[in-house]
Chains A and B, each alone.
Chain A
Amino acid sequence: MKNIAFGQYYPARSPLHAMDARVKVILSILYIVAAFLCKNVLSFGALLLSALFLLVLSRIPPRIVLRALRPLFFIMLFTAALNLFFATGSTVLFSFWRITVYVEGLYSAVFMLVRIIVLIFGTSIFLTYTTTPIALTDAIESLLSPLRIFKIPVHEFAMMMSIALRFIPTLMEETNKIMNAQKARGVDFSSGGLLKRAKALVPILIPLIVSSFRRADELAMAMECRCYRGGKGRTKMTVPHLHLGDFVALALMVAFGAGLIYLNHLGYGYTM
């Protein structure tokens, strides 16, 4: 319960923390694109180096970012195994029984692994670790605001998102409290069959749902009391500004993408 990697903003002073959240959202999208541009050893190598560079730049302890990889460990393993054993090519690395492993398979397994790791690293460093959830929803609202022309309630979506994010820790705390209270009455979550364990959740879920409704009601009331009436004419407490650093970062990212394409064309070794 305590170690769920969600919205784990890590407070620190770094160029990445100081960057405009909107720019960080765009940068992480570009970074994902860049990860899919890579085709050979050189460009994947550059990609891996860039992830390390981001890690150093963010001043977040590597241990903490590595924690974000843990929940996806099996997906990574599965992807690598799939590529390793099922990719066909021309050069046989080794074969035993009915399985033949090709050099191409090994390459693509390693490439996929690097790609997944870098994707997680990039997005979590840009978005979750260096950006507060509030800044992130503000950024998304601002980036999506052109959609207002099509009568899409962008502000309302952003508000719903920030409320949802805001209440995740509260609900986790509440869950923890109720679990403790029911444990004190002898509920056993960790033994018995599937049915027994599922039944043990009832005393947790019912109070949790009841209190979520109560909270929602109270929040709606509190917002009405402060005359909230949606996004129309609403001003912001902190108005974001773009700085020189933001433009530099965007330029660097575009240059990085171009560099990857150039490296792909050098035609070194296996190409995906």
Chain B
Amino acid sequence: MAVLSLEHVTYIYGEGTPFEIRALDDVTLTVREGSVTGIIGHTGSGKSTLVQLFNGLEKPMSGRVLLDGKDIWADPKKMRDIRFRVGLVMQYPEYQLFEETIRADIAFGPRNMGLDETEIAYRVDEAASFVGLDRELLDKSPFDLSGGQKRRAAIAGIMAMRPEVLVLDEPAAGLDPRGRDTILEGIRTYGKRTGATVIIVSHSMEDMAAYCDDIIVMEHAKVALSGTRDEVFANAERLTAVGLDVPQITHLMLLLKERGLAVPDGIYTVEAATAALRRLFS
């Protein structure tokens, strides 16, 4: 079932000025309920605009954004409720921390929802555990934390609202590999435990291959390719044509195929590649 979908959505920046940019051009897509969906594309392909449409921060020039089959713009007065249901973590979210302690900052969203204090306290602890923040850190000031810890605190701030759909724009950008894995792992845990749908925007194919069920590929303000992870990686040639990096192991398989080895399409993990090569040579 589709939890979130876009129907013929067009979005233009600076419409009617000499600086007009068409960020999304007649985009139609659906996100499966309970899935981890990756949106991938180059800078300027319309990814960040897309995520701001999901929770009604931007209004499309034309087309509809549907949450559970209902147009989110049907009643703009209820937009706040939509934003609690579709949680958005923007790029570099660590720059939005403003409270004196991490605990207070994570509690900011739930408090805006009007929850009672015991529920807020419970949710703060739960969200902190999802992203792997130590309890001692919760009473520190955001200024005393490292960049990766701040990023995790900011993500926890959205998770504490327990949205049905968690949207993250480049959650791992600029982090070291270990920090990246902690964050992506925490996001996956959140999805599994709460049954929420997770949408991750990224430009890293490796992350997509490791963490996503479904993948949507954006190019020049349009959807270039979409489907399950297997379907998308089966089109590895198309991905390379779009100018995206396929995972290194997929690239290797493509090269082997070019040289005449009968390896199957759609391999994106080292394990699958080992198995395929074993079969080929045994």
Contacts and interface: CB of A to CB of B under 8 A. Distances in A.
Interface of A: 10-11, 177-178, 180-188, 202-203, 206-207, 210-211
Nearest to B52: A180
- Size range of the chain B interface in the assembly: 20 to 34
B109 interface: yes
Contacts of A182: 96
Given A180-B52, A185-B83, 8 more contacts: A178-B96, A181-B93, A183-B83, A184-B55, A185-B112, A186-B109, A188-B80, A211-B95
A184 B167 CA distance: 11
Secondary structure of the A contact surface, majority rule: helix
A186 B83 contact: yes
A210 B89 CA distance: 20
A22 to B, nearest CB: 26
B158 A185 contact: yes
Contacts of A183: 57, 83
Nearest to A176: B57
A55 B282 CA distance: 81
A58 to B, nearest CB: 14
Contacts of A185: 83, 108-109, 112, 157-158, 161
B57 A184 contact: yes
A207 B95 contact: yes
A202 B88 CA distance: 20
Given A10-B18, A177-B90, A180-B90, A186 B96 contact: no
20 contacts: A177-B90, A178-B95, A178-B96, A180-B52, A180-B90, A181-B88, A181-B93, A181-B96, A183-B57, A184-B89, A185-B83, A185-B108, A185-B109, A185-B158, A186-B80, A186-B83, A186-B161, A202-B98, A203-B96, A203-B108
Contacts of A186: 80, 83-84, 109, 112-113, 161
B13 to A, nearest CB: 9
Nearest to B167: A184
Given A10-B18, A177-B90, A184 B83 contact: yes
Contacts of B158: 184-185
